[in-house]
Structure formats: C-alpha cells, structure tokens
A and B are shown apart, each in its own frame.
Chain A
Amino acid sequence: MSPVATPARAAPAAPPAPPPFDVEAVRRQFPVLAQRPHGKRLAFLDSGATAQKPQAVIDAVTRFYDRDNSNVHRGVYDLAERATAAYEGARKRIARYVGADPREIVFTRGTTEGVNLVAQSWGRANVGAGDEILVTGMEHHSNIVPWQLLAAEKGARLVVVPVDDAGAVHLADFERLIGPRTRIVAVTHVSNALGTVNPVKEIVALAHARGVPVLLDGAQAMPHMKVDVRDLDADFYAWSGHKMFGPTGIGVLYGKARLLEAMPPWQGGGDMILSVSFDGTKFNTIPYKFEAGTPDAAGAVGLGAAVDWLEGLDRAGAEAHERDLLAYATRRLREIPGLRIVGEAPGKAAVISFVMDGVHPHDVGTILDREGVAVRAGHHCAQPVMERFGVPATVRASMALYNTREDVDQLVRGLQRVREMFP
C-alpha cells in the first residue's frame, strides 16, 4: 500500500437531493404561464389535454436544431454521431426513468400510436376468431377503437369491465370477466375523463395469474406520478410525451423485450431493417424493428429533457401539492349551486370533471375563457364514459404540478359568473 494517503474510492456520487417542492419556482420555468388572456391572469387547467413545457424542454429542442441536427443512425460524420447520441441518450434516460431496458423503449408519435402498434402487431399475431379483448368502460377512444378494428378484422370481441357510480372499476369484475378466451387486457392507468387512478398493479397480477398479458395506457398517469413498469409488471405501457411536459409528436411504447422480439414489424421502411432484397428482408432488432422511417429525434431529445427535469424535482413534494390541489378544488367546487362532480372514485389524480344544472359545458367553457381560465369542455374522447354517467359532455379542470390554489379560486370565481348568467 502506498505510504501516501489516498482517499478511499468514493461510491458513485448519489445525485443531490432536489430542493423541497416550490410551486412558484416551478411556475417561473414555464414561459407560457406568464401571459394574460383577455387581460386576465392565465389559470391553465387543461393539462390533461396537453401539459405546458418548462424552459429546459424548449431549450433542449432548440439546442438540438441549433447544434446537433442531422438524421440519426445514418451518417458517419460528426454531426450525425451527435444527433444519434442525443436520440439514443434520450432513450436510455427514459428507460432508466421507468425502470426498463433501452431495447424495450419504442419511440412513437404518442399513446394512440403505441396502442395501435400493439393491436396491429401483437394483436394480429395473437388474437383470433371468438377471442376476447378486455377493456374498461372508462377508456379513452384511443384504447377502444384500435381494438375494435382488430376485433372486426379477426372476428374477436371486446368485453367491457363496468365502471361504478363513483367512477371506479372493481377487481372482482376483472376476475369474473377474464376468461379462457381473453387474449389481452387493455386498461388505462388514470382515466382522462374522471381522474380515477386504477389499481393497475393488482389488475396485472390478476391477468398474469390467468396467463393474459396487459397493456396499460399511461397517458394521464405519467404527468402525475413516477411510474416503474417493472414494478407494475405491465407487458406494454404506452404514453405520450406532450402530456408529461415534453414536446408534441413523440411518445413511448414500453414492451417487455421477449414480447417485442416475438412480434412482427408493424410499419415497414428505413431503419427497421438489417438487409433488404427482393428475395426477402431481414428485420432489425428491437426497438428499431418498430421505428420505420426518420424518427422525431428532436422530440425524443425534448422528452429526454422532460424526464431530466422531472428527476430534478422533489416528486414526493409535487405529488403532495397535487393532492392538496385536488382536495381544495373538490371542496371549492362543491360550493357552487347545481354543480355535480362526475367521477368521485377514492383514488384520483388532480382531474375534476363536472356538469352544472341548466348550462351546457361549452357555455361554461366560453365564460371561463373570458375570466382567463382554460378548461376542456366536451366528451374528452371518452363517449362511453359520458353515456355511463348520462351526460352529453362535461367540463374538465385538469391540474398539473404547476397549478396553484389561486388557479382554483379563479375557476370558482368564473363559475360564480356562469351562475349569474345562467341562474
């Protein structure tokens, strides 16, 4: 041993603990929130449709185009190498964030494309006449229609797990409805229209006990919670970048490697092949087998930046903040005469759908807009949910970690104005 004292080899430095969650500091990172529509403070309560983007994400996309842009996986020059490194680096960071292997991270355009990919590739190979696809009554159209297309082609059918009056599903119904013909269970992690957080880990365990794989629609879950796909043991987990503070046009399909490897390609083109001849084509390995054509590299880089940004936050603090917002908004909305909340399941994300007696959601939306409050009014691409609750549409206030009680107060003042105009 050397007589000179050397420092003991340090363990890999743990990342510094993020500072305690501070909503005002977070808000300052979102340039869009500073504007004043109709001369009013902006209360953006439509993050369920798309989330706003922090400066770090905007900068990452700009930087990519400023400095690193070229086509990925194709050039031998320095720029191409950097672009590829940025794209693949994003894949690695996203994989680590959800507890997956990078080979299991397929870049898509968004959740919709992820579900379609599974329905068309895995589904066509594994679903046949008389088979069943199990979904729930609270799915977004994007987790219904791709399965209907598959079912129509194959002579299979959709079986629907009912939603109770509070907006929850019950494990007993899954137990009852997963049968010998069930080929896949496709369930949303968090309902976009009701806010319900489903017991997906238990649903996965139940389905696996019967040998049935599960696809989870994570579009509404990713913005609100840290998701570990291995912990959930999901077979497929699809989500969108733009709802989790990343750019539009990019999303991810996570799939277990052994499933992805066994699946036939979906779209054909460049980048998804090893060799092409008119006698036959050898397909690339996963995930590239599912990434035909030039990908949205800047989008992937932006999504990687969103993941980095989220990892720099005190997530427990952010989740506590959102729970407070949900509880506060629920309490305040109940003060409005004739207002009914649609979806009051015990476990909810910070999303509140509601209707008001004597006034249509679109009229509510227009009046709120003039008060600087942005909400969604409509059927939220979940018409079966609207039908289940006997309403043509709802108003939805969907909150994110950058919202405040002030936003909720502004919403309530706007709704009081609605009541004045539609007594």
Chain B
Amino acid sequence: MSELTDLYQEVILDHGRNPRNFRPMADATSTAEGLNPLCGDHYHVFLRMDGGRIADLSFQGSGCAISKASASLMSQVLKGKSAADAEDLFQRFHRMVVEGDASQADGLGKLGVLKGVADFPTRVKCASLAWHALHSALRGETTPATTE
C-alpha cells in the first residue's frame, strides 16, 4: 500500500504552502478557468505567449495542497516551453497521474514528484485541474475546464 508520504512529499508540501507564480497577469494573452464544482477547487491560469513560446505562466485561486502544488510546479516547468512541448508534457503528465504510468516521471523533471497521486484515485482530479485549465488556455477555449 502506498504511504501518505508518497503523496505528500516535501516538495509538494512546500509548493502547496508557498505556490510559485501565484499572481494575476495584466498582460496575459489568454486565460482559462479550472473548476471542480463538487469539491470546490477553483483556479485561473494566465498565459502570455510570445512567438509560439510560453513567455509567462501564472495562476490564482483556491484548492487543496495537491492541486495548488501541481499548478505551481506546472508554472515553473512550462515557462519558456513551446506550445508543442507544453502539449507533450501535458500528455506525459496525464499518463503518469491518470493512467498510473510511473515511467513517465523520468521525462517530467520535477513534476515527477506528483507520480504518487496515481495511487490516490480520489485525488487525481486535484492534480490534473490546473493542467486542464492550461490546456484550455493554449487552445483559446472559454468554457471552464473540469476534471470531475
């Protein structure tokens, strides 16, 4: 059985407490909303694209340590990436967390700390919420993303 410490690793607790890039963005080129209405986690993701690259990425909102840490780590890892690379990382992250493919962790850098989430099925939706919002922002979609 997986342990709680597999889920609540130090890095996750740290990012949950002190999320990075946790701010609004006045010059965002697109924004998107992520909302899980049953549990109440709610984030806005802000994106500034520059020449096909993610020049800046930030988020705001409220939710649990897992959703917040996931959004925070995502904002760090994806900044500077091309839209195609971001899409690739989104797919890898999805395979790791939703499908439980731990081997994806190798290609995900510091996002690998979230692989323990796969063993907590009720929390998968928390870890993936901001990612789906980002996905919407990249595609210019306007309806709020949800992972419930």
**Residues of A in contact with B (beta carbons under 8 Å apart):** 38-39, 358-363, 366-367, 370, 377-379, 383, 386, 392-393, 421-422
Indicate whether A379 sits within 8 Å of B4 (C-beta atoms), given known contacts A358-B17, A366-B123.
no
For B17, the chain A residues whose CB sits under 8 A away are 358
For A363, the chain B residues whose CB sits under 8 A away are 8, 16, 64-66
Within 8 A of A (CB), among B33-72: 38-42, 62-66
Q: What per-residue 1/0 map shows which CB atoms of B1-41 lie under 8 Å from chain A?
A: 10010011000010011000000000000000000001111
Indicate whether A360 sits within 8 Å of B4 (C-beta atoms), given known contacts A366-B122, A393-B39.
no
Shortest B11–chain A CB gap in Å is 14
B4 contact from A358, A367, A377, A383, Cβ within 8 A? A367
Docked pose: A132 CA to B8 CA in angstroms: 49
For B41, the chain A residues whose CB sits under 8 A away are 362
Shortest B92–chain A CB gap in Å is 24
For A362, the chain B residues whose CB sits under 8 A away are 39, 41, 63-64, 66, 123, 126
Docked pose: A148 CA to B65 CA in angstroms: 34
Check if B65 sits within 8 Å of A393, measured CB to CB: no
20 contacts between A and B (CB under 8 A): A358-B17, A360-B65, A361-B64, A362-B39, A362-B41, A362-B66, A362-B123, A363-B8, A363-B16, A363-B65, A366-B4, A366-B120, A367-B4, A377-B39, A378-B39, A378-B40, A386-B40, A393-B39, A421-B4, A421-B13
Q: Which chain B residue has the least Cβ–Cβ distance from A378?
A: B39
Check if B66 sits within 8 Å of A392, measured CB to CB: no
For B62, the chain A residues whose CB sits under 8 A away are 392
Shortest B4–chain A CB gap in Å is 5
Docked pose: A392 CA to B62 CA in angstroms: 8
Q: Which chain A residue has the least Cβ–Cβ distance from B2?
A: A370
For B42, the chain A residues whose CB sits under 8 A away are 392
Check if B13 sits within 8 Å of A38, measured CB to CB: no
B63 contact from A39, A360, A383, A386, Cβ within 8 A? A360
Known: A359-B65, A378-B40. 7 other contacts (CB 8 A): A38-B1, A360-B64, A362-B39, A362-B41, A363-B8, A383-B40, A386-B40
Docked pose: A347 CA to B54 CA in angstroms: 55
Shortest B137–chain A CB gap in Å is 22
For B38, the chain A residues whose CB sits under 8 A away are 378
